[in-house]
Chain A
Amino acid sequence: MTYETIQLAIADGVATLTLNRPDKLNSFTTQMHAELADALKAVQRDDAVRCLLLTGAGRGFCAGQDLSDRAVAPGGETPDLGESLEKRYNPLLKTLKGLEMPVVCAVNGVAAGAGANLALACDIVIAARSASFIQAFCKIGLIPDSGGTWSLPRVVGQARATALMMLGDKVSAEQAEAWGMIWKCVDDAALAEEAHALAARLAAMPTRGLALIKRALAASSTNTLEQQLDLERDLQRLAGRTADYQEGVAAFMEKRQPTFQGR
């Protein structure tokens, strides 16, 4: 599949996925969803990929749904937005969450609506100082989707999440960092380099172990402590069987740098 609305580049264990409709602030269309699904499938199937880096082309990260792509004629039949989530956004979010490798998001500019929540679904988010996050949904009578009502209260707390979602106010990258909504905010000029360095660092780490950390964290929000302790036992059992664990221990004993294979 050749892509028109995204770019996928794989090198040195890092898959870099760039949303690429810069003149439309990389907003989602049906075509972009199809291409993203295809690209993520390719990433999933490629054993050489050990980290995914997600970013946007041009001045924005992602402005959310392209409203012109949803044909809502005035006076026409009401659209079924649930179907759009069911068929496109929800599978995208589930795939990203289930990806057995770390996912880094480099937010290079405005992240609005589903674009903001796409960023929040990634494991580690770094943003350019000029970037911003907007839960724009309320301004057109909608609710935050793409997992926003799940992820935002978890990262900023109920009070801030509610106000952000009901007011639709813009959150600057610096504010987002201060609130713990994202990992880090960096100067605009440094974003690309920092993001790639971070992705490269993660791609050299024990991928399987990182994937298991992701699984444990995902389950912790619904598990009781007892269930989570059982899960930790199970996942640690799996982690203990990886070649990377053996290498990690061996390198530690031999006082050398470990070389992880991701398995």
Chain B
Amino acid sequence: MLTAPPAAERAGDAWDDIRVDQPAPHVLAITLHRPQARNALRTQTLREIAAVLTEAAADDDVRVVVLTGGDTVFAAGADIGELAAHDAVSILTDGRPALWQAIRQFPKPLIGAVNGFCLGGGNELAMHCDVLIAGETAQFGQPEINLGIIPGAGGTQRLTHALGKSDAMKLVLSGAFLDARAALARGLVSEVCPPELTVERAVALAVQIAAKPPLAVRLAKEAVLKAFEVGLDQGLAFERRAFCQLFATEDRQEGLAAFKEKRRPAFRGR
């Protein structure tokens, strides 16, 4: 049985650059859809993603979001025309950082399904995802250096966290690409599969996570992300507080009870 369509769809919003659908109960899928531009991330695209995520964050029916570009390309970079139109002053007051912020603050799991080119801003968007599934055709890179600029949405930071210094430097300084297998070997992605199955596997993982207690999932995501932001002491302190908070939830009682009674738990997000 399908649950009601998400608010974004109910409102009848028509998106220009993305498609939004619900592939499974509690799972929302955002598909970048500007094939003529190989899904290049223009400001409008980011605005739409941020809008859907902001709404999904507040929608109790949505538990996990899948973000993909479809079977052939994730996002081949930023919109070069838009970039070229900026000068030093206008880029300073550009609204994009606020949109990235909205994506970064999305509190529920974001699963990325990447096929084909995942470059520049596209790769930075992918790295905002909590888990990445890559098709065999995926190519990751930060080729901004070729244009006389550098990554501007976390590329130099998240790539370094994912790959370590030498590999991150190699990509960022030379503009070289990393293919799916190499990305798997280096921990940038957690699974490689045939391109035709990438979205399907991301949805399957999303379904699996959507069946878990939502509050625990949310705090777990926050705790893991903390590891990149604060020192170990603070991270452990956050983890401990989050752990204790969950003891006040109904879902924790249900989880323990179901385990004892050898039945499937029914989590309600309370």
Contacts and interface: CB of A to CB of B under 8 A. Distances in A.
Interface of A: 215, 222, 230-231, 234-235, 237-238
Interface stretch (B35-43, B190-198, B205-213): B190-198
Contacts of A238: 194, 196-197
13 contacts: A215-B194, A222-B181, A230-B193, A231-B193, A231-B194, A234-B193, A234-B194, A234-B197, A235-B194, A237-B197, A238-B194, A238-B196, A238-B197
A203 B196 CA distance: 23
Given A222-B181, A231-B193, A234-B194, 9 more contacts: A215-B194, A230-B193, A231-B194, A234-B193, A235-B194, A237-B197, A238-B194, A238-B196, A238-B197
Interface in B174-200: 181, 193-194, 196-197
Contacts of B193: 230-231, 234
Contacts of A237: 197
A131 to B, nearest CB: 35
A123 B193 CA distance: 23
Interface residues of B, number: 5
A212 to B, nearest CB: 8
A178 B114 CA distance: 45
Interface of B: 181, 193-194, 196-197
A222 B181 CA distance: 10
A222 B182 CA distance: 12
Contacts of A230: 193
Nearest to B201: A234
Contacts of B181: 222
A192 to B, nearest CB: 36
B176 to A, nearest CB: 14
A237 B194 CA distance: 10
Contacts of B196: 238
A18 to B, nearest CB: 31
B68 to A, nearest CB: 17
Nearest to A215: B194
Contacts of B194: 215, 231, 234-235, 238
A252 to B, nearest CB: 25
Contacts of A231: 193-194
A211 to B, nearest CB: 11
A231 B135 CA distance: 12
A231 B193 CA distance: 7
8 nearest A-B residue pairs (beta carbon): A234-B193, A234-B194, A234-B197, A238-B196, A238-B194, A235-B194, A237-B197, A238-B197
Contacts of A235: 194
Contacts of A215: 194
A194 B194 CA distance: 34
Nearest to B196: A238
- Name the residue among A234, A237, A238 with the largest chain B CB count within 10 angstroms: A234
B192 to A, nearest CB: 9
Contacts of A222: 181
A235 B196 CA distance: 10
Contacts of B197: 234, 237-238
A32 B194 CA distance: 32
B259 to A, nearest CB: 29
A237 B196 CA distance: 10
A12 B257 CA distance: 65
A234 B134 CA distance: 13
A134 B131 CA distance: 49
B22 to A, nearest CB: 22
A238 B193 CA distance: 11
Nearest to A237: B197
B209 to A, nearest CB: 20
A59 B147 CA distance: 52
A238 B194 CA distance: 9
A231 B181 CA distance: 13
A234 B135 CA distance: 11
